[in-house]
Structure 1
Amino acid sequence: MKTPSMNTINSVPQSKPAKTPRLASIDILRGLVMLLMLLDHVRERFYYQHRITDPITIEDTEAELFFTRILAHFCAPIFVFLTGVSAWLYANPNNKAPRSAAEFLLKRGLFLVLLEVTLVNFSWFGSYNALYLQVIWAIGISMIALALLSGLPRFWVAALGLAIVFGHNTLTAIEFLPGEWGYSLWTILHDRGPLYSSDSFSVFASYPVLPWIGVILLGFALGPIFSAKVESSKRKQWLFKLSAAALSLLVLLRGFNIYGETLPWEVGASFIETTMSFLNFTKYPPSLHFILLTVGIALALLALFDTWQSKLSDCLKTYGSAPMFFYLFHLYLLLIGYKLVMWTIGPNVDGLFGFAALWQVWLLSAVLAIALYLPTRAFARYKHSSNKAWIKYF
């Protein structure tokens, strides 16, 4: 993806609006993906009898489930990309001198890693017999990496981000067996797998972090687009151009099965099957095609949301203004709710409780989204009015 030069951005007519739509658009998009994440986590709790592979095994997956899962693919890359954008905005506050983001990123990155290995991991199982290093871990490690690299000139941050995102697929052939030198490091960076296993405890790296480091670097490099000094019309133009470039490149690379995805697409027996095959990208680690699709669409949404004002946008902005609170709250709500269902109704399929149809997953997700709105709004207001340093981490 071609990034605008610093000279181009600095040449944009400047203004000092009373409001900063860029912040609203970021929260709106973050709120939207929080709801998509809720949907996916409800699926994992109450529709887990229908397992999903990576990439998805199309022959064994109904179309409704496939596209429901595809929606969830947008969560992690958008979280990570917006984290990079937010880090640049922190380092370049409006009407104030620039400041280093390194300490800010390092502290929050370490905090996220701590959350992953404690509260988040416990919320999935209600026990602590295994540790899965998942998306919060990946965001935390990416923030730590950005803390080390944020002092570089923006050109080099962008160049490194592009090199990682576009180049990491060339590393797919590299493999290490358990016990070999380099296995643990490579499992953390690029190939998901077990890090430790015993009779009582195990550690599994679910989210290889190298591609996510590339995504956060790109978010940081594109931060100036979201400066209040850039007019909304110019920001929209850049975002739409970058989105079109990313999606056009995806169509070219994917259309001819050239590079960027380990699983080639094939023409199926129907249009739906062909579409499913075309969109069936690898998430662990995220392939180039996966990132081009999700970040490419995210850029277009940021442009569309830039000046969007409505009751719906206000609702989405509320969800996105307290993301960590929403994340932890919904995980424990699902844990407690599932335990209650198992206690009162009991298992109904393979020792688990599962809904009979996917529409029930969507319905429960909608109900939970409504139930979570007021607590999230209350916490967001408290966070923004509080002077306590620790509250800002949520």
Structure 2
Amino acid sequence: MASNASMTHGAVGMSASKTPAAAAAGRLQNIDALRGFVMVLMLLDHLRETWFVYVNVTDPFDARMGLPAMGIARFIVSFCAPIFVALTGLGVYLFSIHHTARETTGFLVKRGLLLIAIELLFLSPLYWGIVPQPTFWLQVIWCIGICMIALAGLMRLPRPVLIGLGIALVCFHNLLDPIRLAQGDSFFPLWALLHQRDTILLPLGFVAKTTYPLLPWLGVISLGFGIGPWFRPEVDPATRQRRLLLLGFGMILTFILLRLLNIYGDKPWHAIEGDPVRTLVSFISMTKYPPSLLFLLPTLGGGALLLALFERIKDSPLIAALAVFGGAPMFFYLLHLSVLRILYHSALAIWGPNHGANFGFDNYNWVFVWYAAMILPLYIPTAWFARLKRRRRDIAWLKYF
């Protein structure tokens, strides 16, 4: 059985990691592997942002104008944030099994504040010099931090109430889409943080971009916490896998039905005459900021299916390798973004801008070339750090990464 430390920190993105051989024997190996799978996918999206920063990608993706390969890739990487946030909620539940409510609350508040600080003080400045003015990007790490602090209170609700709240936020937040506030309105900053992707003006010329409005993500982390009892040690693996399969297929079928109806949950899709590929891209292009109901149904449903699959093949080398990334996700996240920023600014300094003020490649296939080239170089330091965390549990700060 996996240790309490690995179950706790790993599921919230800062796990005490294991070597691949030891991790493969863990009961919760599938969780680490799924988190690692998400991190590997995330690299693909961030490579696109690095070398195609000059390409304006709409939300949802415009299948009539954009490159189809980019639209398909964007759908694939859409699984990252929903799965990661849901696994955070699941990890909090696993932590709470072995700790008091007070200890869990302290854990959530401290980790949440740390994540907020990382987003504002480290990750946002990485993009300064690429964007025209200093911007605080309130993205996924910031969002998870806020959601963890909120979950410190929400977890005290009866489990059926918490699950009901999560379902309501995920399924019905799109009813709030018509509410649009503007700069200067009394509640504009609060509404921009909660549901409206927008820009908040700050003193000294700074701005904040609310890339990840909070309401639907609070629903996702609540649902992740809500399925926690499925992963208790006494639950039969076959029972857990059956529940995950029913949940996953149910969400995907619901997505297909609602998307075909084209009446709720996201912007309509369009059949593009004579171009079935672009029609498919239109069908699978949903709104991420904030995540629509139709964005969350297939991504969370796919995550449930992958959890069941990864548990069934937990002894495979692939799962062990993915678990290395999943065992030290914060380290990998900070590492790969830092490397990408260094590569981008180096290319800009050497060759200069070739697309307006930006440097970028003309052929999208270069994203896949870079993706294949970077996996192993990023794996090596991540595996080293994972082993260091396992070996030096006496160094308290290591567990935060």
Same fold (TM over 0.5): yes
CA distance in 1, matches of 2:101, 2:390: 22
Residue 322 (structure 2) aligns with: 316
Match for 1:264 among 264, 268, 285?
A: 268
Tell me which residue corresponds to 1:304: 309
1:362: which partner in 2? 368
What is the alpha-carbon root mean square deviation over aligned residues? 1.9
Q: 1:132-161 CA deviation, whole Å, 9 max, x = no partner?
A: 111111111111111111122211111111
Alignment match, 2:8:
none
Is the counterpart of residue 116 in structure 1 residue 151 in structure 2? no
Percent identity for Structure 1 against Structure 2 = 42
1:387 to 386, 390, 394: 394
Q: What does residue 239 of structure 1 align with?
A: 244
Residues 61 and 282 in structure 2, CA contact (< 8 A), matched pair in contact too = no
The equivalent residue for 1:273 is 278
Residue 84 of structure 2 corresponds to residue 79 of structure 1: yes
Higher mean alpha-carbon deviation, 204-213 vs 350-359, is at 350-359
Matches within 5 A, 1:1-394: 21-93=26-98, 101-125=104-128, 129-197=134-202, 200-261=205-266, 263-269=267-273, 270-308=275-313, 309-385=315-391, 386-394=393-401
Letter in 2 for 1:382: L
Relative to 1, partners in 2 of residues 1:20 and 1:292: Cα closer, same or farther, differing over 3 Å? farther
374 and 31 in structure 1: CA distance in 2 versus 1, 3 angstrom threshold: same
What amino acid does structure 1 have at the position aligned with 2:205? S
Distance 1:389 1:156 in 2: 35
Specify the SS of the correspondent of 2:127. Answer: helix
User: In the alignment, which residue of structure 2 is the partner of 1:10?
Assistant: none
Structure 1 match to 2:10: none
Q: TM-score, normalised by structure 1?
A: 0.91
Cα deviation code 1:20-61 (max 9, x no counterpart) = 655211111111111111111111111122220101111221
Please give the TM-score of this superposition, normalised by the length of structure 2: 0.89
Give the whole-Å Cα distance in 1 for the aligned partners of 2:243 and 2:213. 30
Would the aligned equivalents of 2:24 and 2:320 in 1 still touch at CA under 8 Å? no
Are the aligned partners of 1:132 and 1:203 in contact in 2 as well (CA < 8 Å)?
Answer: yes
Distance 1:22 1:85 in 2: 14
On the 8 A contact 2:24/2:319 being kept in 1, the answer is: no
Structure 2: gaps (5+ residues): 1-22
Cα deviation for residue 326 of structure 1 reads: 0.4
Unaligned 5+ runs, structure 1: 1-17
Structure 1 residue aligned with 2:12: none
Alignment-mate amino acid for residue 128 of structure 2: F
Asked whether the 8 Å contact 2:139–2:211 carries over to 1, the reply is yes
* CA shift for structure 1 position 365: 1.5
| CA deviations over 1:291-348 (Å, ceiling 9, x no partner) | 0010001000000001322222111110111000001011111111111111222222
Tell me the distance in 1 between the aligned counterparts of 2:160 and 2:232: 17
1:265-298 deviation line (CA, Å, top 9, x unaligned): 2222222122111111111110000000100010
Deviation at 1:198, TM superposition (A): 5.9
Aligned to 1:5: none
**Could you say what secondary structure the match of 2:82 adopts?**
helix
* Cα distance per residue 1:156-194 (max 9 Å; x no partner): 111111111111011111121111111111000000111
